Structure 1
Amino acid sequence: PAVTIFREYLRIPSVHPDPDYGGCVEFFKKQAEALGLPLFVYGTENKPVVVITWEGAKPELPSIVFNSHMDVVPVYPEKWTYPPFSGHKTEDGKIYGRGSQDMKIL
């Protein structure tokens, strides 16, 4: 399921300078709800900050923060072997899509 979810996220065309943050926020809302985790959105509609909290079994221990961004750099589709927002998975398990390494992987 993690690979399927990742590929779904890659299909959201959040291209800078006019990224689809709304699609990304909705994606995260769906994931947080599926896991029963609280989600908060701060900032503005054009620059949202999504915070999902997963409290550990021992909340008194130090926290870990994962930080990422939702926008990706522009694409030139003619330079791609597979459509850049397809989340294409090859038979040998490689996944291709804009943002697959920077930064939608987190």
Structure 2
Amino acid sequence: MSTARAAAVITGGTGGMGLATARLMGHDHRIVLADLDRTHLDDAVRELAVAGVEAVGVLCDITGKASVEQLFQHAESAFRLAEQRPDDFELCSHSARAKHPAI
């Protein structure tokens, strides 16, 4: 499969390992960044765009099933994936951390 049109979904994609993964994968993937902070998302998407990476940012709380489902729906819509191949999501990188209330 050619990865030129595949998408990579990266949670916690606005910093650290998530943003590093987006930079690396962005050379041959469309990137969907997920994070809780809109400002950080916008900054990361802008940074990637300057580097020539096609990316979108989606607000997402990985601790909520509905939020994660909306993440993938938004990704499909943003990149019109439903009209293409069933294997359009080649990578999902989980770089976000969820804090347990007891910790």
Question: What TM-score comes out, normalization by structure 2 length?
Answer: 0.34
Higher helix fraction (1 or 2)? 2
Higher strand fraction (1 or 2)? 2
From the CA coordinates, give the structure whose radius of gyration is larger.
1
